[in-house]
A and B are shown apart, each in its own frame.
Chain A
Amino acid sequence: MDLRDRQVDSLIEESLYISTNLAPQQKQDAWKRLRARAGQQSLLPPAAACDRPLSLLERVFGNNGFLQAWLARLAVDEARYERARQNQYSLRYGVLITSAGFPNRLVEPFRYHFMTPVF
């Protein structure tokens, strides 16, 4: 014999409510403990701007974002640079990106900067 939905619902509600009873004395004791512990701890300052999650735009274009990291890697990673340089024309003609070669020209001065020996 199946229990009807309403009966199951009320049975669950009653059971949960009764089995989680809280005595007034329990609550008072809990407050005393909480008050003592809260008095000993300090509040955290408001969250700084850096604590909030970054937006997609910030992740891509922001400081240390994806684009900056990619350009930096392109500038210092020889193999990556060579691969990009060799493929720039195929990209230009193979795909409808006419300015596909620009990152290499753009990166060239940075390569000099990054690769200059520091004494």
Chain B
Amino acid sequence: MVSFQEVEPSDAALIERVRTNDLEALGALFDRYYAHVFRAAVAITQDGAVAEDIAQDCFLKVHRYANRIDTSLPLAPWLYRVTVNLSYTWISRQKRRRVSLEMVVDRLISPAWLSPDHIAEHTEIQEQVRAAIADLNFNQRVVIVLHYLSGLNLEEIAEILDCPVGTVKSRLYYARENLRGRLGLLNGTNEVAHGFAG
């Protein structure tokens, strides 16, 4: 039986086309992965505007380095690796600049990149969880983001971060413990988290 369903071109096929400077192919990759890259960058940097820049740079690299991307490997890990590296660079620079506490608090409490609809959906608990994630150190935050937001398993994260699976496992464990501690504390003192107790 003949199937009339259109088969989407593979990442490798699209990269081959990007190598010929085909911007439509880049657009197809953009459609496929932009949201994933942007979301990961927002979650790591906690800054929507910066995340947009990082996602832009990430896809500009796909275009610029198209000839050097190994098409025998999946593209997603490559994109996540670039995203994590760019986020790390940005965070390191921010630390050097010593951003004022007011800016950080402002960013955590009222993120400017959220749409009005989004703000309406944003519950207090989720805001507290987000703040707790923002308080994690870079390595733990990256593992949490890649695992829970990007849905990657330990092996995939280890490949992206170029570290042993055991290290990823340990970071994930301690990140969850930290979050659990923060949320557990909220649970005991704040009725906001009461609904999650039982």
Residues 29-66 of A contacting B (Cβ, < 8 Å): 30-31, 33-35, 37-39, 41-47
Asked if B39 is an interface residue, CB under 8 A from chain A, the answer is yes
Nearest residue (CB) in A for B193 is A3
Q: Is the CB of B67 within 8 A of A1?
A: no
In the complex, what distance in Å separates the CA atom of A27 from the CA atom of B188?
40
Residues 116-159 of B contacting A (Cβ, < 8 Å): 118, 121-122, 125-127, 129-130, 133, 144-145, 148-149
Given A12-B129, A19-B130, A38-B144 contact (CB < 8 Å) = no
Partner of B149, one of A17, A26, A44: A17
Most chain-B Cβ atoms within 10 A of its Cβ — which of A16, A26, A37?
A: A16
Nearest residue (CB) in B for A11 is B129
Q: Is the CB of A21 within 8 A of B179?
A: no
23 intermolecular pairs with C-beta atoms under 8 Å apart: A1-B187, A3-B183, A8-B183, A11-B196, A12-B129, A12-B144, A14-B129, A15-B126, A17-B39, A18-B122, A19-B111, A19-B114, A19-B122, A20-B38, A20-B40, A22-B38, A30-B56, A31-B34, A35-B23, A43-B21, A43-B63, A43-B67, A47-B67
B-contacting residues of A (Cβ < 8 Å)? Answer: 1-3, 5, 7-9, 11-23, 26-27, 30-31, 33-35, 37-39, 41-47
A-contacting residues of B (Cβ < 8 Å)? Answer: 19, 21, 23, 26-27, 30, 34-35, 38-40, 42-43, 51-52, 55-56, 59-60, 63-68, 111, 114-115, 118, 121-122, 125-127, 129-130, 133, 144-145, 148-149, 176, 179-180, 183-184, 187-188, 193, 196-197
